[in-house]
Amino acid sequence: MAVPVPSRQLFIAGEWREPLLEKRIPIINPATEEIVGDIAAATAEDVDMAVDAARTAFFSNEGKDWSSASGAYRAKFLRAISDMILERKSLLAKLETIDTGKPLDEAISDMESCASCFKYYAELAEALDLKQKITVSIQQQSFKTHVLKEPIGVVALITPWNYPLLMATWKVAPALAAGCTAILKPSELASVTCLELAEICRQVALPSGVLNVVTGLGSVAGAPMSSHPHVDKIAFTGSTATGIKVMTAAAQLIKPVSLELGGKSPILVFEDADLDTAAEWTIFGCFFTNGQICSATSRLLVLESIAAEFLEKLVDWSKSIKISDPMEEGCRLGAIISEGQYEKIMSFISTAKSEGATILYGGARPQHLKKGFFIEPTIITDVSTSMSIWREEIFGPVLCVKTFTTENEAIELANDTDYGLGAAVISKDLERCERITKAVQSGIVWINCSQPCFNEAPWGGNKRSGIGRELGEWGLENYLSIKQVTHYTSEKPLGWYSAPRKQ
Ligand code: NAD
């Protein structure tokens, strides 16, 4: 059943406002290529208004209305948001699928994750009240020192299109828990559910200006946030190329940034693994969310002696993936987000072919789907380490395969990348898994699995995959500033200078 996409404006200071230039950007359903609505296209002037609203909310009533209110007070709003997301789960999931092309079952699971993430940070907001004024043990007797954890200020949260509401939640929930006020800038390719989050905030009566949602193009609506003098921090998730721009702009004001960027993560498969179990994790690790996951384990490293048998299994498992309209029951591979991304992925595949790689499976539009940006799950062999298909993030359902003969060679190949987000190892030998865990240069290691993600555990990468960690307590720390408070408690004067003579 068709779900109408609500028509929304910008959400600033607790109300819907038309962008100053009244421009809109069409929303295209990637599974049908049809225009299903539009979003407001903000400009720098709209961003200024949103920043003003967030700043006013931050300082309102000397902070007592939000930023210096108790964590317990803020937790009530986070729980109310969580409850309302759950209540609207089915509608939100459908909107997410229409906007992104991801299978509906995935979108439902994303909405549940959003609700649980808001709830988790409600608990951390309450716990924050107990972590204030923690005494620091110091050596001098005449001083006493404690630490305050304060919200960092007005934060700009810039997010991508692959998990629109979930990536926003990973930022909004901890930012609000910490007492920050925020401007969320979702991707112009998928803003719908973030706008519904704004509507939820309005309905739970979140104090106005605490969360503002500004939609629009990255270069027009996103860029002014990185360089804005009244934005105190940028939390960014997106490509490494945009991350560089954000960090460069923020550096001019020494503005802190946390960056969740791209990846090209390896999965290492050894001879003692159950090959069917390993095959399912391998295709899940690369083809889930249509392969558009920053942490996708898109480089398969398999031991030479089992490679032929394992690849046969991979092809069999890939054949079982249901590719269809993402709204259809049982769909496991939907449409790529946009025509631009579709063309980019196809061009990576054809370049690999022309460089001598073999398309073992897939590599084309599925024959039964004439419309929509669909690409078959694709497995590529005969890949060299210099090929772009091996080195660059494809962000589509494309798995590249290389073989190895020793554990050391596997580790060397795994680390031969500019990125360092995730890595997976599939083996029954847990000592080997531990050796590999230590040796791989990545922020996350999965043993005998790929891609699971938990509210409580840190998420983020090394090298060009980013700076900082989201989720867990680390996610909250991103939005807190540490203030040292020191009392001089002695009765004695300092005595460093000679006291001036009395006149
Ligand atoms: P993108 O870099 O094109 O855009 C991300 C966001 O930045 C969008 O909201 C966009 O409008 C905005 N933007 C663009 N130019 C900007 C500028 N000059 N200043 C400020 N903002 C600007 O990324 P994308 O295509 O939306 O998302 C895909 C990328 O995100 C992939 O590289 C993927 O690996 C990465 N990603 C990383 C993680 C992670 O946790 N590490 C999670 C999801 C996605």
H-assigned helices in 71-185: 71-87, 89-100, 104-130, 164-178
Residue nearest ligand 1's atom 16 by CA: 218
pLDDT per residue rounded down to tens, the chain (503 residues)? 579 999 999 999 999 999 999 999 999 999 999 999 999 999 999 999 999 999 999 999 999 999 999 999 999 999 999 999 999 999 999 999 999 999 999 999 999 999 999 999 999 999 999 999 999 999 999 999 999 999 999 999 999 999 999 999 999 999 999 999 999 999 999 999 999 999 999 999 999 999 999 999 999 999 999 999 999 999 999 999 999 999 999 999 999 999 999 999 999 999 999 999 999 999 999 999 999 999 999 999 999 999 999 999 999 999 999 999 999 999 999 999 999 999 999 999 999 999 999 999 999 999 999 999 999 999 999 999 999 999 999 999 999 999 999 999 999 999 999 999 999 999 999 999 999 999 999 999 999 999 999 999 999 999 999 999 999 999 999 999 999 999 999 999 999 999 998 87
- Going by C-alpha positions, the residue among 232, 230, 276, 284 that lies closest to residue 258 is 232
Encoding tokens for residue 59? 């300082």
CB–CB of 57/141 below 8 Å? no
Of 260, 393, 407, 470, the catalytic one is: 260
Measured from CB, residues less than 6 Å from any atom of ligand 1 are 158-162, 167, 185-188, 218-219, 222-223, 226, 237-239, 242, 245-246, 260-263, 294, 393, 395, 421, 461, 466
Q: Which atom of ligand 1 is nearest to the CA of 421?
A: 41
Residue range 21-261+465-486, CATH number: 3.40.605.10
How far away, in angstroms, is 492 Cα from ligand 1 center? 57
Residue range 266-447, CATH number: 3.40.309.10
Instruction: Name the segment(s) of the chain with CATH classification 3.40.309.10.
Output: 266-447
Residue nearest ligand 1's atom 14 by CA: 218
Residue nearest ligand 1's atom 15 by CA: 218
C-alpha span between 379 and 363 (Å, rounded): 8
How far away, in angstroms, is 292 Cα from ligand 1 center? 12
* The predicted structure's pLDDT at residue 503: 73
How far away, in angstroms, is 407 Cα from ligand 1 center? 34
Residue nearest ligand 1's atom 30 by CA: 238
Give Cβ neighbours of residue 223 (< 8 Å, ≥ 6 apart).
245, 249
Q: Which atom of ligand 1 is nearest to the CA of 160?
A: 26
Whether 96 is a known active-site residue: answer no
- Local structure of 25: helix, strand or coil: strand
Per the confidence metrics, is the pTM higher than 0.75?
A: yes
- Going by C-alpha positions, the residue among 222, 189, 214, 165 that lies closest to residue 25 is 189
Residue nearest ligand 1's atom 32 by CA: 239
Q: What angle do CA 324, 325, 330 make, to 5 degrees?
A: 60
* The predicted structure's pLDDT at residue 1: 56
How far away, in angstroms, is 168 Cα from ligand 1 center? 12
The residue to mutate among 100, 102, 162, 297, having the most atoms of ligand 1 within 8 angstroms of its beta carbon, is 162
- Local structure of 230: helix, strand or coil: coil
How far away, in angstroms, is 215 Cα from ligand 1 center? 14
* The predicted structure's pLDDT at residue 2: 76
Instruction: Name the segment(s) of the chain with CATH classification 3.40.605.10.
Output: 21-261+465-486
How far away, in angstroms, is 158 Cα from ligand 1 center? 8
Measured in whole angstroms, the distance separating CA 78 from the mean position of its chain's CA atoms is 19
